[in-house]
Structure 1
Amino acid sequence: MATSQCCANPPTLDPVYGKGMVVDNFGGLKTYISGALDFPKPAVLLVSDVFDGSKAWIQNVQKYPLFYLVCTSPLYFTWLVVSLIYVVVPDFLYGDPMPPNDFSQFPTWIQKHGPAKGFEDAKLVIQALKRKGVSAIGAVGFCWGAKVVVELAKSDDIKAAVLLHPSFVTVDDIKEVKVPVSILGAEIDLTTPPEVTKQFEEILSTKPEVPSYVKIFAGVQHGWTVRYEVTDKASVEKAEEAHKDLLNWLNKYVK
């Protein structure tokens, strides 16, 4: 899969409702924040994959793919305008992302950065958001981050969840989900193959009290929503389709 170049033309840190900023301590974590500080309003927590914690992000937030999603995607821009949303992107990996081209390090790396640790940190971030007086919280997780978010979705700490090309998420996790959940999977994914995603869908279909939306994107690989070539029209269209789906879900349930 090609390396993402989401920010070939880096934007300025100037979201519609307040300049984006990096703060050293939000719930104990260095965090990128976007949105005006007038509450109550809804908030969204974004949880990255294993590659983006990250020293590169902290040093130059404009290169961070999720920053690109928050601040330059026309779809997200539109939703910011409509909902006056408050977005937080914490560095759950403490400036120590997984090296992207050397998976031999993964067994050692994951011992330091397991999703269980991310979940414990996420609860502190949720508490910090609630102290600010937010009206509702949604959570979006990419790959590793999806496991963190599905753990949050087992309680009423958040109002809705979106899992994109999830890793580590199990059938038992899905059985415990209590809030509206959208799962966006890839057709080409060894981490969570389509047949597993379909199992998730089958389980959710037995839980009418939990609104759900499950979609498998044809012809894309794991990570396609944040790791794509901006010069590849088809890749951009697939990523933007997923972005639109996640925004529609949050706009429906996080109010």
Structure 2
Amino acid sequence: MSFPSACCNTPPVVANYTTTGEYGKLGDLDCYFAGTKGSKRGLLISYDIFGLHPNVLQLCDILGSLGFYVVLPDLLRGTLPTLADLANPEKRRDFIQNAGSWDASKPAFIEGLKCLRNSGATSVGLIGFCWGAMLVVRALGELEGFVGGAMIHPSMITSEDLTKVGAPLMALLSKDEDKEMFKKGFEGLKAEKSFGAQCHLESFEDMTHGFCAARGDWADPVVSKRASDAIKLQVAFFNDIMPK
């Protein structure tokens, strides 16, 4: 289980965006909320290691405008690993085992599900980027109540993790992820799981790791279009597994 090399040496873009959602709390975590509270369809989003980046906030607002109620918790509590940290084996290991571990974020997923249910959501899905995609897979393997999850340019995921998911899963890869591992993993899901037909794997071979989150230069029309394409696929996936 590791980060792709592109994850450890590519900085986030500088982006300016005026949000339309609101900030609040999820338990003791700072949190961003987007969309209409009371929507029957909820989404809990786990960001990449660059935290509450404007691109991710904008993505939340887009999903909120399409009828989802979106919760984005600040899982790393504002203390983010740097690229230098990720390039250092000891510091990277410390992040993976502590602040970046599933155990550290699991309570937020439980609280996020409860929050969305209490807000009126009858179905709740998950979206995760890079490191956050690992949390999505672990949640679908250990927790009940989520109808499915989408992972975008995922990292820190093993083939064994994929065998444990208990709900439909989508993966959108860039050119930098382990295509063969994900291909075999999704072939297994389609063959062995009752929900296999709803699983979806797609590669954006013209995009680098992080294009749909903090590392995407959305001022570039090509990157912006491909990020929009990825968002459309996420919406289509959740429209398929969530009743409106």
Q: Give the shorter-chain TM-score range.
A: 0.7 to 0.9
Cα 1:36/1:230, change in 2 over 3 Å: closer
Q: CA RMSD in A?
A: 2.1
User: For 1:212 and 1:41, how far apart are their aligned partners in 2?
Assistant: 22
Q: What is residue 34 of structure 2 aligned with on the other side? A: 34
**SS of the residue 1:3 aligns to:** coil
User: For 2:193 and 2:92, how far apart are their aligned partners in 1?
Assistant: 38
1:175 corresponds to which of 160, 163, 169? 163
Work out whether residues 73 and 108 of structure 2, in 8 Å CA contact, stay in contact via their aligned partners in 1.
no
Q: Deviations over 1:168-219 (max 9, x none)?
A: 2221221121211111112223xxx111111222211213511200112113
1:244 corresponds to which of 208, 227, 232? 232
**Aligned residue identity for 2:239:** N
Q: Deviations over 1:135-164 (max 9, x none)?
A: 110110111111111122224311121011
User: For 2:83 and 2:59, how far apart are their aligned partners in 1?
Assistant: 20
Cα 1:245/1:41, change in 2 over 3 Å: same
TM-score (norm 1): 0.80
How far 1:101 sits from its partner (Å)?
4.8
Q: What is residue 60 of structure 1 aligned with on the other side? A: none
**Aligned residue identity for 1:236:** S
Q: What is residue 125 of structure 1 aligned with on the other side? A: 112
Q: What is residue 197 of structure 1 aligned with on the other side? A: 182
Cα 1:149/1:139, change in 2 over 3 Å: same
The correspondence of residues 185-224 of structure 1 with structure 2, limited to 5 A, is 185-189=173-177, 193-210=178-195, 211-224=198-211
Cα 1:93/1:162, change in 2 over 3 Å: same
Cα 1:101/1:225, change in 2 over 3 Å: farther
Cα 1:22/1:203, change in 2 over 3 Å: same
**Mind listing any 5+ residue stretches in structure 1 that lack a counterpart?**
15-19, 58-62
**Aligned residue identity for 1:109:** F
Work out whether residues 116 and 148 of structure 1, in 8 Å CA contact, stay in contact via their aligned partners in 2.
no
Work out whether residues 29 and 74 of structure 2, in 8 Å CA contact, stay in contact via their aligned partners in 1.
yes
* Farther-moved stretch of structure 1 (172-181 vs 111-120): 111-120
Work out whether residues 137 and 158 of structure 1, in 8 Å CA contact, stay in contact via their aligned partners in 2.
yes
Q: What is residue 93 of structure 1 aligned with on the other side? A: 76
User: For 1:205 and 1:252, how far apart are their aligned partners in 2?
Assistant: 16
Q: What is residue 70 of structure 1 aligned with on the other side? A: 60
Work out whether residues 152 and 171 of structure 2, in 8 Å CA contact, stay in contact via their aligned partners in 1.
yes
TM-score (norm 2): 0.83
Q: What is residue 151 of structure 2 aligned with on the other side? A: 163
How far 1:2 sits from its partner (Å)?
6.2
Work out whether residues 115 and 145 of structure 1, in 8 Å CA contact, stay in contact via their aligned partners in 2.
no
* Farther-moved stretch of structure 1 (92-101 vs 229-238): 229-238
Asked whether 1:148 is paired with 2:149, we answer no
Aligned length: 226
How far 1:133 sits from its partner (Å)?
3.2
User: For 1:233 and 1:115, how far apart are their aligned partners in 2?
Assistant: 35
**Mind listing any 5+ residue stretches in structure 2 that lack a counterpart?**
1-9
Identity of aligned residues (%): 23
